[in-house]
Structure 1
């Protein structure tokens, strides 16, 4: 018996020494770091939920709030950022500039959170001819305004676009410096309260915009992340969809997590995301895994709002056409130069459904 005890102690000591040598005892196995950035925006708060609820325990996810998207993409180009949550129009510009990035997911769709607001003297599109409109040039706001003008028979270049960010655009419209502006929430609602006679000229919940999926957010990954760390890229995408699925079941707690992490009021988060997890009681419709995979065209079925399977191709071409008109890019390139949908296919083929 004594010999057995000694032998057992020897084995235990040997195994323990081996595990310690590999760092498996005394400290947890190091999780793989994933660096993610994006705006201070509730639509990107699902990363905060993934972190708070430990939905990807083998990943060390870090979400950094960076208000200038170009800074995020420059960091990605320098291989100092793996993932960027941003608006869905940048990929053609990134390709034009030789940035090693790919658009990998259609993340959410503006469902009323974006509005074109006119001053007291502006009631219809033609009232803006020859006047100044505040937009973020090179962003979705500019395309939204341009498409709306042409939809209403007014040439997109009949107005002067002033490159002003949202809070400054608020002051410019209230102060009479511009005739109209494109706003996202809470700026749109606030300017309507602050400026008597102002009105909503167009808003993204209208079927025309929902079907075309114009005003939306997307998810970008670096080429290095997609090629050299493919398994981690897949796990990262899954973590986002797991967080979305968790939020749909726990919207109150999820919204509070986002509010705390983003240092926003709960009211502002609920204004954007809604309160019941349905995606249609707020200003932003969040795509789950299957909806995003259908938009990419890698699983059967159609996305919501009358969109079609594989619409990511049409979206790429639509955005690229406008950037050619505005002189931001020289030509419309093939979608595969900037779009990577195979992560969704791989997750689906593994049995994942979100």
Structure 2
């Protein structure tokens, strides 16, 4: 009997619906031997929830191995070589991966930038027009480039009216202070550090503004390999469930959860709190973490709308938006159908089985 059938059976009786996650898991997965799951992500608190699953034994059916790999391209290539199962990364890569023939799917939106991303300008720059012909620092081929390009067009400037330079993080901070670039897209803590270090610098845009929240542009996602989804589907479902069980546990135990994530990511608790917040509300930090229902709604796999005036099934619109931009930036040749890179059936199966996170 598959996990899906077991889960459906366990959740058909009203009394079972009141069971704790631990008891449901015991009913549905105790007979399964622990399955190895290999997960990769770079050093970022938003990817740290699997450390909670490990530390609190929230998925006893799984032997989760989380590897910190700073280059997401390396992680995706490991998936292609069947040496990795899951990758946590920014949510714009899928169209590029599809065109390159990588056997991966975006299976979930993980979190939405809620102020952690900023476009910071140097002294004397107050508008998009002021940047014409000047150099700006972004991660070329990443969300920061799309963020910058969309902001330029939103404010009446052509997206290619600036010179994009592939400089990020500390190097971008140094370039701003040295006057090498006129503006940069930063994530925390680099944006705040730049504002503190560079007199006269200012914020031109930040991702907590309603426009960016509704668009869902600056976000992280979870990817799975095609083999993992199709050949080890029960394990893929358990892995997704472990993620959302961990998010729910963190929301109820934010202080301990942030410490676990800090230890797992080898970061300070203060930096984790800057990104995730302190109270588990998901709105007092720089990221808004999607729970199961919100992610399923964004995928179009559960009824209702996700937060911030987003729409049910918006993941397809997100695919079209980022694909259009990658065509403009000559990163891909054409826009492919969303089903070539998006897999929402895992959310759908869990929802139909009665899981709600």
TM-score, reference length from structure 2: 0.91
What's the counterpart of residue 63 of structure 1?
Answer: 66
Q: Answer yes or no: is the 8 Å Cα contact 2:120–2:202 preserved in 1.
A: yes
Structure 2 residue 238 is the aligned partner of structure 1 residue 235: yes
Structure 2 residue 211 is the aligned partner of structure 1 residue 211: no
What's the counterpart of residue 288 of structure 2?
Answer: 285
**Distance in 1 between the 2:353 and 2:261 partners?**
30
What's the counterpart of residue 100 of structure 2?
Answer: 97
What's the counterpart of residue 323 of structure 1?
Answer: 326
Comparing 257-266 with 322-331, which one deviates more in the overlay? 257-266
Matched residue SS, 1:156: coil
Structure 2 residue 134 is the aligned partner of structure 1 residue 136: no
Q: Deviations over 1:272-317 (max 9, x none)?
A: 0001111110000000000000000011100000000000010000
Equivalent positions of 1:260-271 (< 5 A) are 260-271=263-274
**Distance in 2 between the 1:216 and 1:119 partners?**
25
Equivalent positions of 1:1-354 (< 5 A) are 31-354=34-357
Q: Deviations over 1:45-85 (max 9, x none)?
A: 10111111111001010111111111111111111110000
Q: Following TM superposition, where does structure 1 have runs of at least 4 consecutive aligned residues deviating by more than 4 angstroms?
A: none
Which of structures 1 and 2 has the bigger CA Rg? 1
Change in Cα spacing, 1:188 to 1:29, as seen in structure 2 (3 Å) is same
Structure 2: tracts of 5 or more residues without a match = 1-30
**Distance in 2 between the 1:165 and 1:195 partners?**
16
**Distance in 2 between the 1:150 and 1:49 partners?**
41
Structure 1: tracts of 5 or more residues without a match = 1-27
What value does the CA root-mean-square deviation take over the aligned residues?
1.0
TM-score, reference length from structure 1: 0.91
**Distance in 1 between the 2:61 and 2:299 partners?**
27
**Distance in 2 between the 1:62 and 1:194 partners?**
38
**Distance in 2 between the 1:38 and 1:172 partners?**
27
1:29 Cα deviation after fit:
8.3
**Distance in 2 between the 1:321 and 1:314 partners?**
11
Q: Deviations over 1:127-162 (max 9, x none)?
A: 110000000000000000000000000000010100
Matched residue SS, 2:296: helix
1:165 Cα deviation after fit:
2.3
Q: Answer yes or no: is the 8 Å Cα contact 2:168–2:186 preserved in 1.
A: no
**Distance in 1 between the 2:108 and 2:95 partners?**
15
